[in-house]
Amino acid sequence: MTFEWGARTYVMGIVNATPDSFSGDGLIRGDEWVAAAVAYGEAQVAAGADLLDVGGESTRPGSRPVPLDEELARVLPVIRALAQRVSVPISVDTYKAEVARRAVAAGATMINDVWGLRMDPDMARVAAETGAAVVLMHNRSQPKDAVQEARLGGRYVGVRYEDLIGDIRRELQASVDLALAAGVRPERILLDPGLGFGKTVEQNLELVRRFGEFRALGYPLLAGPSRKSFIGYTLDLPPDQRVEGTAAVVALCIQQGADIVRVHDVALMSRVARMADAVVRR
């Protein structure tokens, strides 16, 4: 599939090969979870997903890292099966270079790194050697800044920025520089400003309000607001009741130039994207 940036918004469906997703859609349940995950991915494509993002480790505030072998066991069978069953590109949501390398060998064509190549020193090299597209996300998540609330889930508090948008832009550019230095081709790079990752509710709202400022970096933009805690805390709603809030943020990010939206509710958000595109891309 060839992406024509600026022509329309592409929808990335989320396939959580985990038991503990914050959004309640973790697919590891029972003995037939691989088949369930594959069926879920196929349903998302049928509902309008232009690509699928398969992840094996929860990144919710306060989550614990998953050992390498366990993450591989979660994502590889799903990616391998989906690559045989769907025609859309498959992304692997990981910050571990070995997971990325083996996922691309299994059929993934995109690496979605929530740490922007800064967590695993081998990730930039793997991205370059595989030729995969790479999403570089901004992230200042620290366990000490995460707090939990039984109904609304985790959020970040007390995270300090000197200049929110300026700091994020500078740190994204540092990730871009790592990618280019390793040999990743510029046309394979996408940027995600990191809604929800190491940002307070107020900072996330400002990030949405100023999302379009990241277009100046010169790369396609991905927005990932789906069911995030900043929506829940703004509306006082748990993850399974955040679809309208997600739709509002998706539309606002598209209005400011988002090229891809990463979402759980593919059918609904595909309609939001089509409607927003009809307004802003004519």
Q: Does residue 115 contact residue 137 with C-beta atoms inside 8 Å?
A: yes
What is the predicted pLDDT for the residue at 23?
A: 43
Model confidence at 254, in pLDDT bands (50, 70, 90)?
A: very high
Q: What is the pLDDT of residue 24?
A: 45
Q: Which residues are catalytic?
A: 228, 262
Domains with residue ranges and CATH for the chain: 10-280 (3.20.20.20)
Q: What's the pLDDT tens digit per position in 14-47?
A: 999 887 544 445 455 555 889 889 999 999 999 9
**Chain segment 134-185, per-residue pLDDT in tens:** 999 999 998 888 898 889 988 999 899 999 999 999 999 999 999 999 999 9
Query: What phi and psi values does residue 57 have, to the nearest 5 degrees?
Result: -140, 130
Angle CA 188–70–121, to nearest 5: 40
> pTM for this structure?
0.94
Residue 53, SS3?
strand
Give me the pLDDT at residue 230, please: 97
What pLDDT does residue 22 have?
45
- Mean confidence (pLDDT) of the chain: 93
**CB 261 within 8 Å of CB 50:** no
